[in-house]
Structure formats: structure tokens, C-alpha cells
Amino acid sequence: MRKKTATVKIRTAGGADIEYITTLLGELDRPEPKNKSEYIKFRNLIKKYTQSNNRGMVLAVTSSRIIGLVSFIMLERLNQANK
């Protein structure tokens, strides 16, 4: 008999996800903001990623819970001169 598995959806992260992203990173033993100042810097970094043309962040979500995160930076091809 086949076991039922949860559906995982991939979606772009947004500003409303900051709290969840902070929690997920803590669960993965990543440093969490220690005070309000650090939290504001972290929030601004996430906003920068979500509003940038060459940076991004996608989330894996199942049952309304964020279970994974990928952040990326797109680089221009290094073997071509800027035009």
C-alpha cells in the first residue's frame, strides 16, 4: 500500500515571511538576531533580497509551514565585458 505524503509547494519569499524565516534558520542552528537592532538589519536584508532584480529567496512550504529556504544571487557572466 502506498503511503500518503505531504505536498510541498515552492514559492517566492516576501516581507510577511520574515518571522518564519528567522524561526527556520534558528531550527537549522543558524545565528538568530539577538536584539531588535539585529532583527531590523535582518528584516532589511530579506527585503533587499525579495525586491532585487538579481537576488531572490524561495521557500518550500507544506501544510502552511515553511520547511526549506534557498537564497540566491544572480551574477553576470564573468567572461563577458559589461556593455
- Indicate yes or no: pTM above 0.75: no
- Kindly give the confidence (pLDDT) of every residue in the chain, 83 residues in length, as a single tens digit, with 9 standing for 90 and above: 777 777 999 999 988 888 888 888 888 888 878 899 998 898 888 888 888 888 999 999 998 888 999 999 988 776 666 65
Neighbours of 83 (CB within 10 A): 4
Q: Where are the domains of the chain?
A: 9-73
CA gap 22, 81 in Å, rounded: 38
DSSP string covering 21-83: HHHHHHHTTPPPP-SHHHHHHHHHHHHHHHH-SSEEEEEEEETTEEEEEEEEE----TTS---
How high is the pLDDT of residue 59? 94
How high is the pLDDT of residue 83? 59
Domain 9-73 CATH class label: alpha beta
CA gap 59, 70 in Å, rounded: 7
Instruction: Collapse the DSSP code of 3 into the 3-class scheme (helix H, G, I; strand E, B; otherwise coil) and give the result.
Output: coil
